[in-house]
Each structure stands twice: as C-alpha cells, then as structure tokens.
Chain A
Amino acid sequence: MRRPHGWPIGGVRCSVPPNVQRPTGLGVKRSEILQKVAKDSNEAVFRMTRASVPQAPEKPAGYLRRARELEAEFAARSEGARAVRLGVLASFSADLLRPFLVVEADRLGVPLHPWFGGFNQFEQVVFGSDSPLWTQRPDALWIAMRLADVDPAFVDEFPDLGVEVAAERLGVIRRRMVALARAAREHSSATILVSNLAPPPLATVGLFDAGDPNGITHLVTAENRALARDLCAMADVHVFDFAGVVADAGAGTWSDDRFWYMARAGASASNQTVLARCVARSLSALFRSPAKCLVLDLDNTLWGGVLGDDGLASIILGDDYPGSVFKDFQQALLGYRRRGFLLALASKNDPGQVREALDDHPEMVLRTDHFAAIEVGWGPKPASLRRIAEKLNIGLDALVFVDDNPVERATVKAELPMVGVVELPNEPIGYVAALRAFEALDRPRLLAEDRSRAGFYVDEAGRQEVREAAPSVEHFLADLGMVARVGACDAGTIERIHQLVHKTNQFNLTTRRHKLENLQRLAAAPGAAVLWLRLGDRFGDMGLVCVGIVTCAAGDLWEIDTLLMSCRVMGRRVEDAFLAYLAERAAACGARHLRGVYRKTARSTPVRDFYSERGFTLVSHDEEGSVWERDLAAAPLAWPAIIYRVDVGESVPG
C-alpha cells in the first residue's frame, strides 16, 4: 500500500554538489520586483510571549521612566529582534504620546519604536520618496487627522453652510486622508492606520443636533462610513476608530484645553494612555500571530457550581440570576465561535457526567458540537492544552485559556507562557467584560472563511467515519469525491491567500511571508503567477487551501517561490494536484525546467522531502534548506485522477 503523501520517511543523505549559479540577464522590471519581494518577506512576526499583560504605570511620570528603560533595551537588542517601527503623522502634537505608546505596546508584547513627523505635516512627509519617513522603512504608519485641528471653523460656520457645502468640507478631509494612504502605499508596504473623525462632543453641537438628519453628528458619521468603504478597497490599510475611542472614553472630557493651548496636545492626561492603549492594541492585532482557539473550563466558568457534587442538579444555569450570568457568558462565547474562533473544553471532571451535561442539560447554550476538541479527565491542564493544540494542529500560542480558578491559570502561565490567559475576575458577572477586553481576541478583518472554520471541524468527524470504513487509503480518497477548483489570484481571493501566506507553518515549502501588496504585484507581474486551489468533497467545502507562487528565474527555468497548503487537507494527494497545476501554468508561460526550493524553519520539517518524493533532482543543500529541479518536458507532472478538477476564471497571462 502506498504511504500517504506529504510525510517524510527518513532524511535524504547525499554529498553537497556545487551551487547552481542563477543565470544573469533578467529583465529589469522582473528583477526589481523579485528583489523587493525577497527583502520584504523577511519581516519579523511578533508573538505574544506573555501569558498576562503587565500592570500599567500608575502615573504619567511612570510612563516616562518605563519608556526610557524600554528604549534603552531596544537599542541594546541584537539585529535579529528589532522593534516595530511606527511612523506617526498627526494634526496635533503627537510626540507627547511617545512614552505612552512605547509602554502600552510593550505590555502587549510588541516592542515599538515610534517616529513622529513634523507637526501637522502630511503631504510634505508622505509624497517625497527621500522623506525621512520612508528612509526609516516603517512597518506601520498612523495618519491621525482631527476635524477640530484641520477645520476648526467647521462647527461654528455650520449653520450658514447648508448640507451640501458642509458634507463637501468633510469630504475634502476624507479624500485627503485617502490620498495620503494611497501615496503612502506607493512608497511602502507598511500597514497603514487612518484615524476616522470624532464627532464633536454633545456640549459643542447641542442636544438637538442628532435630531437633524443633516446635522453635524450624522454628517461626520456618514463621512466615516465613506472612509471605511474607501479604505476597504486598499491593501493593508485600516481605519483606526478614533471616533469610537473618544466616544467610549467620553467626548466631553477627551481634551484638556490647557494642553492644547500650551503645546497643541490633543488629549487629557488620562486619555493619552487610553489613546496609546488603543493604538497599541490595533498594532498588536495586526502584527502578532493570531489567537485561534478559546479553551474553556466548565465548573464555575460555563456554569455555576461543580458538576461532580451532584450531577446535573448541581449546575447553576438558567434565565434567572445567578444562572443567567453564565448563560449570557455562553452566548458571548458562541458569538466568538461565529466570528471564527474555535472553542475547546479542558475540564477536570468525569467524562460521562460532562457528556450528560453537554447533551442533556436544558439550559446549555454550548453543546458537544460547538467544541472542536474536548479534554475531560483528572490530569493537569497544561497537558490538556498540549493535546488540544496537537489535535487541532495549531500552535500553543494560538490558544486562549479561560478558567475561573486562579491556581489553574497560574499553572498554565508558568508552564506554557505562550498561551494567552484571560484573568477572569472573582465575580462571574464580570466574565463577559473580561473576555471583551482581552486583546488577543481582536481581529483586524473577519474573512468569510474564518466564520465557517468552526463548522468545518464538525464535518471532519464525518470524514473520520468514512476513513475507518474504507479498506485502503486510495479507496478512502476516491470515496471522498474530491473536487478541486484552481485559478489565479484575483480581488476575490487575495485576502484569503494573504491570510494563508502568513499563518501556514507546517506545509509551507519556503515560509515567505509576503505582504498583501507584494502578492498583488506578483499577481500582476509578467513572469510570475499567484495561484490557488480550493477543495471540496462530499462532506462539504473546505475552502481555499493551497497557495502557490511561480516566478521566472531565467529563460525557461521557473521557480516555485511559494508552495503552501492548509494542514486540514494533508494526506489526500491535493499537494500532488496543486504541484501539477503550478507546473502546467509555468509550462504555459514557457517553462521547461521547474525549480523547487525548501527553506528550513522550526515547523516545516514535514515537507523537507517533498520535492525528493516527487521525482525532483537535488541541486544543492545546506543548513538553510535545499534546491531541487525537474525537467518538465522530459517528465511532466500529472494531476491525480482521484481528484476532479475545475478551472476557474481566465488562464494566467504569460
């Protein structure tokens, strides 16, 4: 019986042949693009290594002191672990925010190095390619324009303007912000945050402004919506919800007029930390590896009481207090599942009783099917977490631990510092708020596939049953009735492609973390192609699971810059199908030889022998990885017959 593909058997031992030199004579445009791609894909990924968030300094001077300590630490760091460089352009004196930004970002595990443009300088800083902003090579840029700074007369002149003129004045600001973001994107692939406009406080516009459908508040809100629409169309540009931050903190007390008159500082003392915390939180969500699974305890977490005391009768859960508090907590958790987070259970209980509670208790909101993994037993929680991570094939740093017991939380924090731990308060009434405040659960933009991911794991149970019944792997695979859709990257697929490029670790031949903008360039460039594969079988649609990038290295030699696959479809010959597709597309553009590259990383060992197993010849290898080649004319790659193929869209231009 043939062994399943995708898994190495033993190593490949051979002597090191001389390196193949890349032939010269690349077209200028292609080589520029490829050089840029190589540079930008070496970005650092910042992981949340802290299980809990350190305390904030109590006083402003404390922030100054702590920020200096941190900045000294960053300066002393080795080149390999550098800080996130943030460029800030603001219509107010943003320099005041520096210590608050550095400290708040550090609390979230993001080493931050902010750079501030000159006061109220936007176009001057963004439009020139030799501007100090761009020579910094920032990882992120924050464009912070405030209505009160940019059009201070707006509110006072409003009664005389009429709705068209008023809306146009706001539109001018919005279009300016969008133009700056676009111009910034020309110069850099940095992540861009653009502040939206905060409606003036109630005291300024009066209690009756909201009753005027064309009043200030509604016009500003409409402009913010237009801004969100405009930015959605751009790669890696996000709204920073300044309006939301101000409203939440209290628009009436946001500013301190003294500080404005003294130094054009935009916020009161306490709101400096609020603003810095929110910016840090946004950056953390955009830069760190995402949390994927909430691991939940049962007793006094999902219900009141201890199941083991008296079975179902001991569970406090229902529509009246205190049971209603737990029921609402379960509803909130279900909401996270809908947003694409997995739920798992880790409980010290009797499995039979737990099964009974999950299946039979009438007040449970969460049922067996809602959990992607269930670990019930009497062993220590860290071991359960390890098993859950392994079963779900995700890293420990993608777990968030939710348990009412401070001793359990401390044990997990000590043994598994990479696991996020929510510090639930003593009173269950505060559980939902604690969850909402937990930064690791922030998600920049929800993709449709995130939403359906939780459902996929239940489908998988159906697939497991078929696997047990089939007499052989081939039979099982054929029985699945797999259908693969293949195509080239376009506006509809690029976000999912980008997501996979960043989060796929195991089945990833080169682990190049291309930025969204790089992917777009490659997709549009002649001599390169960004390709995908979407898989379905008789149990359901598994979504877009393969991403490949092929580029012309020289003449008729093409290289596989990127080849990755979601682990959920390992062992089905999908990788063979996709490789055949990549080879075919390259051949259609003139390739006669195909080069495969394997770059070694901590987690990519499963694909070390990928090319060897598929008849590629080893060209070179060292401790970083290996290079392989195949003559496509002499030995073309075949699409496996057990997977039905559908080609989507137009073929890739040559």
Chain B
Amino acid sequence: MSERVSLAEGLEDRARRLVSEVFGVPLATVTLEASQDSIESWDSLNMVNLVMAIEAEFEVSVSIDEAVDLLSVKLILALLREKGLS
C-alpha cells in the first residue's frame, strides 16, 4: 500500500515540476489544483510546449484531442495514468 502511494507521489511531483518548467512559475505555486485559470501563461502556445515536454519526459504520445484538454495538473495526471504510468 505505502509503495503504491510513493509511486503516485513520484508521478505527481514529476508532473508539477514539468508544469513549473513549461510555464515558468515557481514549483511551490504549482499545486495539484493548478490549472489554466490559476496560471496566466497557460496559453495555446505554451500548451504546445507542454505537449513537447510531456512527450519527451514521459516517452508517451499525445493525440491532438488529448492535447487540447491538458488544462490542469489533474488532467495531465489523468492522461499519464491512462497511458499506463503510475
């Protein structure tokens, strides 16, 4: 049980770190609630950066329909888990 929790934390931290780097905001401000509404630079151009970063970091492929829905940290995590990451 505790092992699974620590793996999930691993993924969450990686996702938060990625968001911090892509949108240029301090890691501390990237909570699990962070989204397009709370981060000003979460625009369409930076979402391209986001897709590029996710694909490089997690070695997954993101379709355009999946890409346009990447509007919050939670949605990013949901996608990654769908792709089999944990």
Contact = CB atoms under 8 A, between A and B. Distances in A.
A258 B62 CA distance: 9
A61 B64 contact: no
Contact of A59 (B44, B47, B48, B57): B57
Contact of B45 (A58, A65, A258, A265): A265
A347 interface: no
Given A60-B53, A269-B55, A262 B47 contact: yes
Given A64-B22, A263-B44, A96 B64 contact: no
A595 B74 CA distance: 74
A262 B21 CA distance: 20
A269 B52 contact: yes
B18 interface: yes
Nearest to B68: A262
A261 B49 contact: no
Given A60-B52, A262-B47, 16 more contacts: A59-B53, A59-B57, A60-B53, A60-B56, A61-B21, A64-B21, A64-B22, A64-B24, A64-B49, A96-B48, A259-B51, A262-B48, A262-B67, A262-B68, A263-B48, A265-B45
A158 B63 CA distance: 31
A61 B48 contact: no
Contacts of B44: 262-263
A59 B53 CA distance: 7
Given A64-B24, A68-B24, A258-B67, A93 B45 contact: yes
Contacts of B56: 58-61, 269
Interface string A229-258: 000000000000000000000000000011
B21 A65 contact: yes
Nearest to B43: A263
Contacts of B18: 61
A interface bracket (residues with beta carbon within 8 Å of B): 10 to 19
A330 B31 CA distance: 60
Contacts, number: 53
B75 to A, nearest CB: 15
Interface residues of B, number: 20
10 contacts: A59-B57, A60-B49, A61-B57, A64-B24, A68-B24, A258-B51, A258-B64, A263-B47, A265-B48, A269-B52
Interface of A: 58-61, 64-65, 68, 93, 95-96, 257-259, 261-263, 265, 269, 272
A61 B45 contact: no
Interface string B52-81: 110111000011100110000000000000
A61 B57 CA distance: 9
B78 to A, nearest CB: 19
Interface string B19-51: 001101000000000000000000011011101
Contacts of A93: 45
Minimum-distance CB pairs A-B, first 10: A60-B52, A59-B56, A269-B52, A61-B53, A258-B64, A263-B44, A61-B21, A263-B45, A259-B48, A263-B48
Nearest to B66: A258
B20 to A, nearest CB: 10
Contacts of A262: 44, 47-48, 51, 64, 67-68
Nearest to A99: B49
A65 B17 CA distance: 11
Contacts of A60: 49, 52-53, 56
A368 B57 CA distance: 54
A465 to B, nearest CB: 64
A96 B43 CA distance: 12
Contacts of A61: 18, 21-22, 49, 53, 56-57
Contacts of A68: 24
A57 to B, nearest CB: 10
A622 to B, nearest CB: 47
A587 B21 CA distance: 66
Contacts of B53: 59-61, 64
B29 to A, nearest CB: 16
Nearest to A93: B45
Contacts of B68: 262
Contact of A95 (B21, B24, B45): B45
Contacts of B64: 257-258, 261-262
Contacts of A95: 45
A261 to B, nearest CB: 6
Contacts of A259: 48, 51
Contacts of A58: 56
Nearest to B53: A61
A257 B65 CA distance: 12
A262 to B, nearest CB: 6
B45 A96 contact: yes
Contacts of A257: 64
Nearest to A265: B48
Nearest to A64: B21
